Amino acid sequence: MNETVLVKNLHIKAGKNTLVSKTSLTIKKGEIFGLVGESGSGKTITAKAIIDLLPEGLTYTADEIITAGKNILTASREEKKEHIGKNIGYIPQNTVFYLHPMIKIKNQIGDGYMYHMKKTKKEALKRAESLLIKVGFKSPKTVLNYYPWQLSGGMRQRCNIAMALMNDPKLIIADEPSTALDTTVQKQVMELFKTINKSLGISMLLISHDLGLIKHYCHSIGVMYAGQIIESGSREELFNNPKHPYTQLLMKIVPSLSIKKNEPLTEIPGYVPEKGRDSRGCLFVKRCPKAMEVCSQTVEEHEEKGHYYRCNL
């Protein structure tokens, strides 16, 4: 099997309200897959469904959700917990609050390793030291004895990355990993992900609203809008030959990608719809400059050589 993640026809609901619909994605072994879209498009809850961590009140269905060779839809609760804990490292949004501020790093970083890998505290600390060195710390023993509040945002994020690597996972999911970091630290953190991907061959799902960042660090990209992946493919294909009008507009609102000097930025009028996400028509129809009458009623799906998009054009 050449895929680390295979999701087919994912739907997520809050009661009767559909949040994500008809979503499929594939992450190949050893690649960084970028999931990009506006706030509220469903990126985070899609990732949480993959690791069975949806917030209370949300439910999901899918034809398949396969991670690291196991279909979690057919697994028991204990099997899911064991499989995900061993094979997937998760770095959530707002990592400032992810580490408990009043518990030392050494008492947080190894818990999952001891539980899932059946290791001792001594073995966990030894592995933590080696991983802290790998993510850029020169004095890992000192860092292990710090409280999170004693570390900068960039240092906390490096600790989170080390924690995600503890169980030698097949996949790392990083949700907006550069948010709240200054530009220099952002680059350092993203370069670290790139290095880990190359040196360890770990597949990654990188979630971001920053298309420039996605372009620079990801091999493949999925563009999400209103709870659907409306276009996906290789980085080269999406940036050289975007098919969906939403993807085309996204290119124009990132200055470094397509805007010439002194040229005003393009805006996408309107808002991402919160309701009607189970519509048979195109969810971008009310904001699309190329919309046709048929677009509100139905939408065609296209796929050629790994380039997928949902559009009637």
Find the CATH number of the domain harbouring 88.
3.40.50.300
Instruction: Return the pLDDT at 269.
Output: 80
Handedness of CA 165, 125, 98, 77 (dihedral sign): positive
- Determine phi and psi for 60, rounding to 5 degrees: -135, 155
Instruction: Return the pLDDT at 257.
Output: 44
pTM for this model (two decimals) = 0.92
Long-range Cβ contact pairs of 283-288 (< 8 A, separation 24 or more): 283/225, 283/226, 283/227, 283/228, 283/230, 284/225, 284/226, 284/230, 284/244, 284/245, 284/246, 287/246, 288/245, 288/246
H helix intervals, 136-180: 140-144, 153-165
Instruction: Return the pLDDT at 262.
Output: 57
Look at strands 228-234 and 220-225 and give their pairing.
antiparallel
Instruction: Return the pLDDT at 240.
Output: 93
Instruction: Return the pLDDT at 153.
Output: 87
| Interatomic CA distance for residues 233 and 135, integer angstroms | 30
Instruction: Return the pLDDT at 273.
Output: 84
The tens-digit pLDDT sequence of the chain (313 residues) is: 688 999 999 999 999 999 999 999 999 999 999 999 988 999 999 999 999 999 999 999 999 999 999 999 999 999 999 999 999 999 988 766 788 999 999 999 999 999 999 999 999 999 999 999 999 999 999 999 999 999 998 899 999 999 999 999 999 999 999 887 788 888 888 999 999 999 999 999 999 988 888 999 999 999 999 999 999 999 999 999 999 999 999 888 765 544 455 555 567 888 888 887 888 999 999 999 999 999 999 999 999 989 999 999 9
Angle formed at CA 170 by CA 164 and CA 147, multiple of 5 degrees = 5
Q: How many domains does the chain have?
A: 1
Per the structure, the complete domain to which residue 201 belongs is given by 3-310
